Amino acid sequence: MMEEELERRAALVTATIEKLLPVMHPRGLYEASRHLVDSGGKRLRPSMLLLAAEAAGGEALALAPAAVSIELVHNFTLIHDDIMDNADVRRGRPAVHKIWGQSGAILAGDTLYSKAFQVLGMTAASPERILGAMNMLSRTCTAICEGQWLDMEFESKDRVTENEYMEMIEKKTGVLYGASAGMGGLLAGASPEVVRALDEFGRLTGMGFQ
C-alpha cells in the first residue's frame, strides 16, 4: 500500500519535471542537467514533501512544483558529489562528469540548483509561504555543503567520533528530508509547531535512511 502511494506521488513529480524543466537551448546543458533526474530514483524526498503537505490539508497537485524543487536540489548534490569522488556510475548510468566532463557537470549541477528556486516560486501558495519555503531550502543547501565538507575532512582523520559522524549524516542526508517534510507542512499552511515537528520527523527519517 505504502509503495503504491509513493509510486503515485513519484509519477506526479516526474510529470511536473517534464513540464517545468524542458530540454531547451543550449541543449547540451539541459541534457546534462536532466541525465540523473531522468535516470529513475524513487523520488522519496519530493514524495515526503507531498505526503507532509497532504497531512496538513494541502493538495499534492498544487504543491508539485515545490516537490520538484527538492528533487532538483537532491540531484544537484549527486552531480557534485560524483565529481568530488570521481565516481564512474550513478544509478546504473555513467556519472554526468564522465559524459560531459567536469566543467559541464559543474554547470549542470549549478543549473539544477538555480532552477530549484525558480520552480519553487511557481508553487500555488501565498508569497509569504513561498518565501518561508525558500528560506528553509537555502538554509538546507548550506547545511548540505557543511556536511559534505565534514565528510571530506573525515578522510584525513584516523578516528571519527560517533557525535561527529551523526552531525555529518544529519547535514548530508537528514536535513534535506527534514526540509522536504517541513516545507510541505509550511506550504500547506500548518502551524509553526507542526512545521517544526515535520522537519524533525523528516530529518530523523533521513538519518535513519543514511
40-58 tens-digit pLDDT: 789 999 999 999 999 999 9
pLDDT tens digit string along 13-37? 999 999 999 999 999 999 999 999 9
Q: Any idea what DSSP says for residue 95?
A: -
Q: What is the pLDDT of residue 210?
A: 85
Burial class (CB in 10 A: 0-12, 13-18, 19+), 110: middle
Whether 94 shows a pLDDT value over 90: the answer reads yes
Q: Distance between CA 187 and CA 62 in Å, rounded?
A: 10
Is the model's pLDDT at 203 over the cut of 90? yes
- Confidence band (pLDDT; 50, 70, 90) for 2? confident
Q: H-helix or E-strand containing 128?
A: helix 127-154
> Which 3 state secondary structure label does DSSP give 94?
strand
Domains of the chain: 2-209 (1.10.600.10)
pLDDT confidence of residue 1: 81
Q: Which cell goes with 55?
A: 497531512
Query: Do residues 199 and 178 lie in contact, with contact meaning Cβ atoms separated by under 8 Å?
Result: yes
Considering only CA atoms, which of 142, 168, 15, 28 is closest in space to residue 77? 142
Rounded CA-CA distance 26/59 in Å is 34
The pLDDT mean for the chain works out to: 97
What angle do the packed helices 96-120 and 64-85 form, to 10 degrees?
150
Which pLDDT score, from 0 to 100, does residue 154 have?
A: 96
User: What's the number of CA atoms in the CB half-sphere (13 Å) around residue 116?
Assistant: 28
User: Residue 51: what pLDDT?
Assistant: 97
In the predicted model, is pLDDT for residue 153 greater than 90?
A: yes
What residues are paired with 90 via a beta bridge?
93
For 104-129, what is each residue's pLDDT tens digit?
999 999 999 999 999 999 999 999 99
